[in-house]
């Protein structure tokens, strides 16, 4: 691969033509790589194609010398075979030979230098095009990220305002109204349990904590007076899962709380109302908590 050359400020007309062609080819190669999503192509296939393009452009910028050589040979043969043509033909043959030698020597020096320049100009165009596209993508992603953060802030402010109104209406002071911070990239199932423990503490139960991940009897978060199960998945919570939690709570003589990231089947809500299980839906991404049934709404307003 040729070495990089400094930018040449003053160019011949032939060099200007080659520079423009090399820049256009570099831009075309970069556009094709960007369209294909192949950002690694800049130092791979593009460089290889630019080498061949630079060689072709440099080679095509100078006249072929074979014609001059052929003309010189014909003139020499004519001078020897037809002596009557005189010394003028012989002189012409010598002149053609000299022209061929001069052009050949000049071409041998000029073409490699122009080839390196053409490669430099082409790859500079490639990198400039990639840099512009990368800057555009970064700007687009920054705008999207800022818009998403603004949306999450608006949702969170609305959620906190709702909690404040509920607490004021109930005439009680709950714990830290803010609850856990939003997690824009979501949480794992274990992270969801820690998130729920934070919500329970913000509702006033300062002893709430995550249970051990083994042999917990289906209980994910527990405190002195409450036990909670956390379902961090895509499906709806059914009546069987709520019934199982209600049975454990009855045995432990504690109040049952159910938290999910999705929602509840109608039968699950009906059973929870009869069994005294509070149902909540949380959003880790938005940092919000929503009560689903009447008991959950009471805890949400008055605290645990």
For residue 208, the domain's CATH number is 3.40.1350.10
Q: Which of 63-72, 169-178, 247-256 has the lowest mean pLDDT?
A: 169-178
Which range among 27-31, 113-117, 128-132, 272-276 has the greatest average pLDDT? Answer: 272-276
Q: Name the domain boundary from 98, 121, 143.
A: 143
Q: Is pLDDT of 213 > 80? A: no
Q: Name the domain boundary from 99, 121, 143.
A: 143
Percent of the chain with pLDDT over 70: 71
- How many other β-carbons are positioned within 10 Å of the β-carbon of residue 59? 14
3-class DSSP state for residue 12? coil
Residues 34, 135 share a domain: yes
Reported confidence tier of residue 245, pLDDT bands at 50, 70, 90: very high
Q: Is pLDDT of 289 > 70? A: yes
Burial 82-108 (b: 16+ CB within 10 A, else e): eeeeeeebbebbeebbeebeebeeebe
- DSSP letter assigned to residue 234: S
Residues 196, 135 share a domain: no
**pLDDT at residue 24, as a whole number:** 84
What residues form DSSP beta bridges with 260? Answer: 231, 281
Q: Could you tell me which residue, 163 or 140, shows the higher pLDDT? A: 140
**pLDDT at residue 277, as a whole number:** 95
3-class DSSP state for residue 262? coil
- How many other β-carbons are positioned within 10 Å of the β-carbon of residue 22? 26
Residues 292, 182 share a domain: yes
- DSSP letter assigned to residue 82: -
Torsion of CA 188, 189, 195, 201, to 10 degrees: -160
- DSSP letter assigned to residue 2: P
Question: Looking at the domain assignment, is residue 83 inside a domain?
Answer: yes
What's the average model confidence in pLDDT over 82-111? 67
Into how many domains does the chain fold?
2
Question: Looking at the domain assignment, is residue 154 inside a domain?
Answer: no
Query: pTM score, two decimals?
Result: 0.48
Question: Looking at the domain assignment, is residue 292 inside a domain?
Answer: yes
Residues 221, 119 share a domain: no
Q: Given strand 255-260, what is the order of strands in its sheet?
A: 209-210, 221-222, 226-231, 255-260, 277-283, 288-291
* Bridging pattern class, strands 255-260 and 277-283: parallel
Give me the DSSP letters along 174-217: -S-TT-SPP-TT---HHHHHHHHHHHHHHTT-TT-EEPPSSS-T
Residues 195, 98 share a domain: no
**pLDDT at residue 170, as a whole number:** 65
Question: Looking at the domain assignment, is residue 163 inside a domain?
Answer: no
**pLDDT at residue 175, as a whole number:** 52
> Tell me: the pLDDT tens digits for 191-200?
999 999 988 8
**pLDDT at residue 110, as a whole number:** 63
Within 8 A by CB and 6+ apart from 2, the residues are 51, 54, 115, 116, 119, 120
**pLDDT at residue 176, as a whole number:** 56
Tokens of 291: 């009560």
Question: Looking at the domain assignment, is residue 161 inside a domain?
Answer: no
What's the average model confidence in pLDDT over 246-275? 92
| Alpha carbon distance 191, 210 (integer Å) | 10
Residues 223, 109 share a domain: no
Domain enclosing residue 40, as ranges: 13-143
The answer to whether 188 and 220 have CB atoms below 8 angstroms apart is no
Reported confidence tier of residue 6, pLDDT bands at 50, 70, 90: very low
Tokens of 180: 């856990």
- Mean pLDDT of the chain, nearest integer: 78
Give me the DSSP letters along 254-279: -EEEEEESS-B-HHHHHHHHHHTEEE
| Alpha carbon distance 234, 224 (integer Å) | 30
Torsion of CA 49, 54, 60, 63, to 10 degrees: -150
């Amino acid at each position: 691969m040729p070495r990089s050359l400094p930018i040449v400020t003053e160019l011949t007309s032939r060099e200007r033509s080659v520079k423009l062609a090399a820049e256009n080819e570099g831009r075309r190669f970069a556009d094709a790589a960007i369209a294909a999503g192949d950002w690694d192509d800049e130092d791979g296939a593009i460089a290889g194609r630019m080498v061949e393009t630079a060689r072709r452009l440099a080679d095509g910028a100078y006249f072929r010398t074979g014609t001059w050589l052929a003309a010189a040979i014909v003139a020499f043969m004519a001078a020897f075979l037809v002596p009557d043509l005189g010394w003028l033909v012989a002189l012409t043959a010598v002149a053609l030979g000299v022209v061929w030698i001069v052009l050949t020597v000049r071409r041998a020096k000029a073409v490699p230098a122009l080839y390196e320049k053409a490669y430099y100009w082409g790859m500079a165009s490639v990198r400039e095009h990639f840099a512009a596209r990368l800057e555009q993508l970064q700007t687009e992603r920054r705008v999207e990220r800022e818009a998403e953060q603004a949306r999450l802030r608006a949702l969170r402010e609305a959620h906190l305002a709702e909690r404040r109104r509920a607490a004021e209406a109930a005439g009680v002071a709950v714990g830290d109204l803010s609850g856990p911070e939003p997690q824009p990239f979501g949480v794992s199932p274990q992270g969801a349990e820690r998130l729920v423990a934070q919500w329970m503490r913000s509702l006033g139960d300062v002893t709430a904590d995550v249970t051990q991940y083994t042999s917990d009897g289906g209980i994910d978060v527990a405190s002195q007076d409450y036990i909670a199960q956390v379902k961090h998945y895509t499906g709806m919570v059914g009546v069987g899962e709520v019934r199982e939690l209600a049975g454990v709570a009855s045995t432990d003589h504690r109040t049952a709380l159910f938290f999910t990231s999705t929602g509840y089947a109608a039968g699950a809500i009906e059973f929870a109302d009869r069994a005294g299980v509070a149902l909540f839906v949380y959003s880790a991404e938005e940092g919000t908590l929503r009560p689903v049934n009447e008991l959950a709404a009471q805890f949400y307003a008055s605290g645990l």
